[in-house]
Chains A and B, each alone.
Chain A
Amino acid sequence: MKLTRLALYCQPSDTFRLANLAGILERNREYNGNFDISAVMAMTQTHFMYVMEGPREAVSQSFSQIMFDSNFKNVVLFGMEEISERMFDAGPVDFISADAFSVEFCREAVNMPRLLPSLLSYENAKRLLLKASRKRDILKKSQQLIDDCANEDYFEIAV
């Protein structure tokens, strides 16, 4: 089995609602859990960023599902590589809200005052997501926000 890591960024589609997120995460977690994929999904004010690690075929298939998901558009690959071990100590999908990406955090992680995914290299994207995913308090708060919003119907993606 070839273990791989893949990272991407994309935009929410025009019809995306924040209330969709709970369902997206639930489906994604179920699939990833079944196929031994661990992943981190982050939201910025404008984009989603996603990194996943797992068997090559499963990661490729999961990527295909993202491409077919009408919640997302303009999917751009940061990179994909074979790895000897996982870097992210993540569950099926750990979620990080935009709150995590403060000016201070972004400066420290990638030397940018704001998070602009299209300007990040693959290495910087990994560094940023890894750093954010290690903040357990942020993960907990982000998940709580999703749970709270599940019954709302915000258009904005920022939480």
Chain B
Amino acid sequence: MKEIRLAYYSKPADTFRFTDLEPVLASSRRNNERFNVTGLLGLTSTHFMHYLEGPRESVSHIFSKIIHDRRHRDVTFYGVGEIEDRLIPEYPLALVGGKAFSEELCTRLFGRKTIIPSLLNQRAAMALFSALAQDRMRMEESENLLREALDDDYFEISF
């Protein structure tokens, strides 16, 4: 069985609300678990950045659902490649919020103070996902923030 990783960035649709994230995450996690796919969803102040890994057919199937989802648009690939080991094997879909993309991390990885997804090449994007996958503290913080925000109705995706 061939396992692959797939990474892309996209923009939230004009009607997207921060509180839409909870159902998106819940259904994505259910689907990912069902198809043995793991991954990470990063939120910058302007874009989604998404990393998926698992069996080739499963990742392609999940991605076909993602690309049809009207809550985001302008899906652009960073890359798709075969893998030996998973980067984030234990999470169906980890969430990392804007604070994870710190000035220190961005400067260290690609020499800029802020994250601009469209400027990242494949290598830089993968380095970023690797760093984010190790930041368990930020993942937990992001989940907590999402839970706290559920009663609100932010338009902004940054937090």
Residues of A within 8 A of B (CB): 2, 4, 6, 8, 56-57, 59-60, 63-64, 67-68, 74-82, 118, 121-122
Contact = CB atoms under 8 A, between A and B. Distances in A.
Contact of B6 (A77, A82, A118): A77
B129 interface: no
B76 A57 contact: yes
Contacts of A4: 77, 79
Contacts, number: 63
B33 interface: no
Given A80-B77, A80-B81, A81-B81, 7 more contacts: A8-B60, A60-B77, A68-B68, A74-B57, A76-B60, A79-B80, A79-B82
Nearest to A67: B67
A116 to B, nearest CB: 13
Interface string B56-93: 11011101100110000011110111100000000000
Contact of A60 (B56, B59, B61, B75): B75
B134 interface: no
B34 interface: no
A77 B76 contact: no
Q: How large is the interface on B (under 10, 10 to 19, 20 to 34, 35 or more residues)?
A: 20 to 34
B56 A77 contact: yes
A145 B68 CA distance: 33
Contact of B4 (A57, A59, A60, A77): A77
B64 A82 contact: no
A64 B76 CA distance: 9
Contacts of A79: 4, 79-82
List the 3 closest pairs (A to B, CB-CB), nearest first: A80-B80, A76-B60, A60-B76
Contacts of A8: 60
